[in-house]
């Protein structure tokens, strides 16, 4: 069965009808990206993904990567795809042309990435990691570091990674043991071991630039004493040419549940005493710099979740329309009732509807987040920039944590709709589910995203960013209450938002009290409730746009009705469950934290 990726009609709806991103072309920064150009970019990404990239997805999953004598070979079919990425300048879609980028809006790049990642997530991770590492250099690097690395990385000649995790320092980055000793020439000798390094060694590129977190000798303990270093696989000479190997050795790759085509490496730094790095940014400010890459990576995790969920949903709809099994409930009492496509069965429709609303909500959230980043880039007012950035900061844990949780649920439904065939590897649903699971773990597990929302984002700037987000939701509910078809949905969402505000106040107070442990035991349910309200908002926003066009629409009338039904289903069938979650949070049960360790068994 051919795998599908994303619904182009829905992508166009979000870009051009919900967000109206073509208005960005009114600003000189994005002047060349009018609607026609944007549509061409999305079409090119779609064509490349379906014709060239998608056929390598199953191949990469089944072949995996090969490790031998410190070197890693990716599936040979990936070599052509990497070259196509380079030729099409897909590695640096939003970056400046002077460094090899295309300078396109972030919202447009997310649409392209949804296709490219959905076609082969393991393959596109090589792109995303390179882009993120290069972005770090562009933001914090010296002129020499930029000159040596940026064009080489943004054009895909060189690759990039991020080296954070160690055997004894996973989520607790402050416990890292990698050290840096300053040399007389201003460079640093790096010594340590890093694990779970995606794309840490591969044969796609001639050099790999590793941003490495390490502690300079004598620096403070914990995260306050962490610095960031650039450590190339092959040393770079003053003139930019490559020199000798840099004592960065891959000691093995992991055998994983999913993303087999992307190598997950263990790296040894300085085992021979000759691993040299240069400081990136300021001493002891490494975590601040790395958070920039982490935020980008967390949004990318959300895009990964969206693209996998979208593919699973489209596959499931296609299969449900074709798979004939059982009689329609309305004809079951007839003599010899005919078998019908399973999409006619109520429980299958329930599952498909669940998948549909989350995929649509995810897409709107991630495209909206990217659009806010574009507005931050072009906005002239400092106050407005800060307002928009605050909303972005609040939404990041939702875009990473909530979206990837729901992605896994959607992919699980995708297996279920296929029945036994969904459990068989010759169909795409099983791989999508396996690949999806990692998105909930890396780049800060979803429990950490929940703690970030509760512990940092709620109280940030005295709560102003949260209130600014609520104000955006309020605009939608106010408009919906004036719409006869959506009035009740607007009122229901407004009530849920009020309840969420009360819950947030409750959680904020508990997190600052002696009940802090029980408060954080409910951090993840609070993330879920917050995400549910945001999904309801985005779906209602979609419905408002659709309601204005449904009467005059011709070929798209069914699509617009579908948007209104999505909002109705979510707000009437899922949002009431969210209110139950909030009630449970407000009870603030201490059972989980009062339970003795031995009582767990």
- 551 band by pLDDT with thresholds 50, 70 and 90: confident
Q: What is the pLDDT of residues 236-280, one digit of tens each?
A: 999 999 999 999 999 999 999 999 999 999 999 999 999 999 999
Residue 128 lies in a domain: yes
Nearest Cα to Cα of residue 71 among 204, 160, 165, 167: 204
What CATH number corresponds to the domain at position 180? Answer: 2.40.110.20
Task: Note whether residue 242 is domain-resident.
Answer: yes
Residues 126-142 as b/e (b if ≥16 CB within 10 A, e otherwise) read bbbbbbbbbbbbbebbe
CA distance 88 to 307: 20
Q: Are residues 125 and 178 in the same domain?
A: no
- Is the per-residue pLDDT at 1 higher than 70? no
pLDDT tens column, 40-79: 999 999 999 999 999 999 999 999 999 999 999 999 999 9
pLDDT score of 294: 84
Same domain, 71 and 207: no
Question: pLDDT tens, 411-466?
Answer: 999 999 999 999 999 999 999 999 999 999 999 999 999 999 999 999 999 999 99
| Confidence check: pLDDT of 89 > 80 | yes
Distance between CA 139 and CA 161 in Å, rounded? 16
* CATH number of the domain bearing residue 140: 1.10.540.10
Contact 550, 543 (CB under 8 A): no
Evaluate if residue 171 carries a pLDDT over 80: no
Tell whether 348 is covered by a domain.
no
Q: Let me know whether 258 and 194 are in one domain.
A: yes
Banded pLDDT at 174 (limits 50, 70, 90): confident
Domain shared by 12 and 141, yes or no? yes
pLDDT in tens, 485-538: 999 999 999 999 999 999 999 999 999 999 999 999 999 999 999 999 999 999
- 443 as an active site residue: the answer is yes
Of 478, 477, 486, the residue nearest 547 (C-alpha) = 486
Q: State residue 4's pLDDT score.
A: 86
Average pLDDT along the chain: 96
Nearest CA-CA partner of 78 in 137, 119, 134: 119
231 and 139 in a single domain? The answer is: no
Q: Give the pLDDT confidence of 376-392 residue by residue, as tens digits.
A: 999 889 999 999 999 99
Whether residues 144 and 254 share a domain: the answer is: no
Predicted pLDDT of residue 290: 83
Q: Note whether 169 and 144 are same-domain residues.
A: no
Task: Please say which residue of 267, 284, 301 terminates a domain.
Answer: 284
Q: Answer whether residue 368 is part of any domain.
A: no
Residues 566-588 pLDDT 10s: 999 999 999 999 999 999 999 98
Asked whether residue 22 falls in the same domain as residue 135, the answer is yes
Can you give the pLDDT at residue 178?
Answer: 96
pTM summary value: 0.96
Residues 127-151 pLDDT 10s = 999 999 999 999 999 999 999 999 9
523 shares a domain with 579: yes
- Contact of 264 with 202, CB cutoff 8 Å: no
Is-contact 564 541, C-beta < 8 A?
no
What domain count does the chain have? 3
DSSP-assigned beta bridge partners for residue 160 = 209
Domain final position from 284, 309, 337: 284
Long-range contacts of 419-422 (CB under 8 A, 24+ apart): 421/319
Whether 133 contacts 293, CB under 8 Å:
yes
- Domain presence at residue 272: yes
> What is the residue range of 542's domain?
458-591
Query: What band does 292 get if pLDDT is binned at 50, 70 and 90?
Result: confident
Please give the average per-residue pLDDT across 299-310, as a whole number. 98
Is residue 315 assigned to a domain? no
Last residue of a domain, one of 231, 249, 284: 284
- 214 and 112 in a single domain? The answer is no
Reported residue count of the chain is: 601
CA distances from 588 to 500, 583, 584 (A): 15, 9, 7
pLDDT average, residue stretch 347-373: 98
Task: Determine the pLDDT at residue 306.
Answer: 98
Q: Which of 390, 394, 396, 389 is nearest to 374 (CA)?
A: 389
Residues 117 and 166 in one domain: no
Q: What percent of the chain has pLDDT over 70?
A: 100
Contacts of 267 (CB under 8 A, 6+ apart): 163, 193, 194, 195, 197, 200, 201, 210, 248, 249, 250, 251
Is the pLDDT at 2 greater than 80? The verdict is: no
- Is 131 within a domain? yes
pLDDT score at 380: 86
Burial per residue of 148-179, b for 16 or more beta-carbon CB atoms within 10 angstroms, e otherwise: bbbbbbbbbebbbbbbbbbeebeeebeebebb
Residue 152 CB contacts under 8 Å (≥ 6 apart), including other chains: 158, 207
Paired with 211 in beta bridges are 230
Residue 452 counted as domain residue: no
CA dist., res. 601 & res. 596, Å (int) = 10
Instruction: Write phi, then psi, for 233 (nearest 5 degrees).
Output: -60, -45
- Tens digit of each residue's pLDDT (9 = 90 or more) over 175-212: 899 999 999 999 999 999 999 999 999 999 999 999 99
Query: Is the pLDDT reported for residue 170 higher than 90?
Result: no
95 & 204 share domain: no
Query: Which listed residue (114, 166, 296, 443) is catalytic?
Result: 443
554, pLDDT greater than 90: no
């Amino acid at each position: 069965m051919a795998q599908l990726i994303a619904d182009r009609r829905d992508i166009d709806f979000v870009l051009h009808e919900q967000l109206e991103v073509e208005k960005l072309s009114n600003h000189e920064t994005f002047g060349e990206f009018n609607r026609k150009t944007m549509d061409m970019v999305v079409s090119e990404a779609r064509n490349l993904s379906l014709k060239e990239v998608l056929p390598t997805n199953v191949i990469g999953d089944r072949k995996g990567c090969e490790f031998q004598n410190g070197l890693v070979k990716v599936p040979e079919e990936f070599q052509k795809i990497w070259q196509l990425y380079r030729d099409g300048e897909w590695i640096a879609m939003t970056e400046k042309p002077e460094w090899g980028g295309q300078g396109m809006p972030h919202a447009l790049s997310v649409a392209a990435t949804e296709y490219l990642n959905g076609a082969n997530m393991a393959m596109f991770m090589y792109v995303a990691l390179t882009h993120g590492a290069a972005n770090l250099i562009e933001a914090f690097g010296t002129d020499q570091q930029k000159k040596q690395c940026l064009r080489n990385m943004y054009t895909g000649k060189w690759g990039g990674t991020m080296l954070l995790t160690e055997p004894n320092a996973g989520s607790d980055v402050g416990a890292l043991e990698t050290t840096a000793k300053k040399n007389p020439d201003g460079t640093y000798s790096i010594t340590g071991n890093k694990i779970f390094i995606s794309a840490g060694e591969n044969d796609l590129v001639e050099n790999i630039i590793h941003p490495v977190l390490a502690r300079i000798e004598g620096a403070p303990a914990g995260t306050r004493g962490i610095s960031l270093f650039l450590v190339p696989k092959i040393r770079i000479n003053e003139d930019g040419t490559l020199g000798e190997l840099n004592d960065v050795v891959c000691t093995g790759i992991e055998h994983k549940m999913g993303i087999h085509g992307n190598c997950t490496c263990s790296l040894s730094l300085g085992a021979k005493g000759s691993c040299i790095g240069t400081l990136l940014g300021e001493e002891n400010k490494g975590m601040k710099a790395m958070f920039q890459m982490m935020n980008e990576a967390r949004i990318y995790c959300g895009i990964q979740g969206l693209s996998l969920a979208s593919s699973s949903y489209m596959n499931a709809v296609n299969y449900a329309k074709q798979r004939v099994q059982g009689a329609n409930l309305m004809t079951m009492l007839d003599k010899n009732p005919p078998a019908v496509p399973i999409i006619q069965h109520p429980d299958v429709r329930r599952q498909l509807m669940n998948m549909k609303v989350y995929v649509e909500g995810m897409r709107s959230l991630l495209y909206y987040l990217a659009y806010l980043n574009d507005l931050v880039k072009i906005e002239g007012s400092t106050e407005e920039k800060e307002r928009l950035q605050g909303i972005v900061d609040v939404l990041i844990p939702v875009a990473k944590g909530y979206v990837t949780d729901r992605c896994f649920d959607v992919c699980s439904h995708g297996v279920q709709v296929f029945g036994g065939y969904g459990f068989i590897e010759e169909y795409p649903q099983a791989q999508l589910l396996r690949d999806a699971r990692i998105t909930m773990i890396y780049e800060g597990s979803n429990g950490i995203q929940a703690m970030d929302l509760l512990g940092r984002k709620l109280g940030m700037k005295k709560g102003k960013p949260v209130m600014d987000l609520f104000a955006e939701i309020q605009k939608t509910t106010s408009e919906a209450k004036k719409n006869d078809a959506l009035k009740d949905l607007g009122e229901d969402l407004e009530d849920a938002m009020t309840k969420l505000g009360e819950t947030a106040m409750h959680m904020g107070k508990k997190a600052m009290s002696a009940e802090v442990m029980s408060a954080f035991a409910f951090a993840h349910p609070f993330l879920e409730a917050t995400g549910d309200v945001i999904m309801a908002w985005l779906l209602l926003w979609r419905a408002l746009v659709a309601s204005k066009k449904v009467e005059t629409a011709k070929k798209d009338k069914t699509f617009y009705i579908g948007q209104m039904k999505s909002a109705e289903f979510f707000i009437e069938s899922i949002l009431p469950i969210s209110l139950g979650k909030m009630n449970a949070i407000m009870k603030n049960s201490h059972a989980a934290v009062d339970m003795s360790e031995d009582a767990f068994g």
